[in-house]
Amino acid sequence: MATHINTDNQDASLASSADLAADLGHLGVAPDELQQTLKLAGLLQTSLELETVLNYFLEAAADRFRFDGAEFTYPPLEAELQFGSRRAHTCAYRLKLAGEYLGELVFSRRSRFAESELQTIENLLSQLIYPLRNAIWYQRALRSAQIDPLTGINNRTAMDNMLTREVDLAHRNQTPLSLIVADIDFFKAINDQYGHATGDEVLRQFSQAISENLRSSDIVFRYGGEEFVILLTGTNREDAALVAERIRGAIEQATFACERVRLKLTASFGAASLAPGDGPEALFRKADAALYQAKEAGRNCVVSHQPELHIQEANG
């Protein structure tokens, strides 16, 4: 039967390494154990990466008691980290500090955990809780800096970072990569006629409609205003045009219910694929130029950037 411990009512806490040393000294902790404790406390404060902090903690924990696997989950950041293999017997800790939920950590192994081991785990958790909170706060700050507050999707900063990374990977692995730039047709008229609150709701529903027509590996960004960018990994030019057409058709068929009005919208799309020698800026420029052509062609259509043909004339 699994062992389960809930620490909701006894939050693990650590004020500082100095406080910890004083507390353990009064309790008569052996010098060697005190040295290990202070070393771990210092190590956990050297990183703000969630996985790194947990790795440091679990490496130290493995020296103090035996376990086969550990799992950490923190749903607000969609963090699910698995270490080792899960076994039948577990001890689970719901981590909180001053009422703030910091995730759940579960240890498992083939045999039951002894009471002395559970006490050791709880003592170790007292060293983890503050560095864990700091890492979570840091990850939250990073995420909020890359999320568009209106639509809840990735913003332009996130696009710049991800596009640079994916272009590098595509060149290195010689895999296809495509980009779609989408723009709501006549969006200014919606703001002018119905107000900015309605316009904001249109943007939210438009971004959702795009997301619903993408694969899980594809990423949509709000580039600015009513312009959106879609990053398609492992996708060539022909397939990117098909994706853009599918989204265009879905937008055209949808009805956007905003407060007291129901609106029909269309959108224009430009698609382009990465070519040898292209950087992130070049790929975006090609897709943006294709979008401009779609608007010039009457809007509510998809234009795919055509690769340039290089023809070498024969001598003689």
Known catalytic residues are: 226
Residue 77 in 3-state DSSP? helix
Angle at 155 between CA 153 and CA 157, to 5 degrees: 145
Given a contact cutoff of 8 angstroms between Cβ atoms, the answer to whether 68 and 87 are in contact is yes
Exposure on the CB side of residue 195, measured as CA atoms within 13 A: 6
Sort strands 177-184 and 227-233 into parallel, antiparallel or unpaired.
Answer: antiparallel
Match 């332009």 to its residue by tokens. 156
What 3-state class would DSSP assign to 309? coil
Give residues with Cβ within 8 angstroms of 284, minimum separation 6.
163, 179, 181, 229
Q: How far apart are CA 125 and CA 117, in angstroms?
A: 12
DSSP string across 142-177: HHHHTB-TTTSSB-HHHHHHHHHHHHHHHHHHT--E
Neighbour count for residue 54 (Cβ, 10 Å): 24
d(CA 173, CA 243): 23
User: By the 8 A CB rule, do 94 and 105 touch?
Assistant: no
Q: How far apart are CA 216 and CA 213, in angstroms?
A: 10
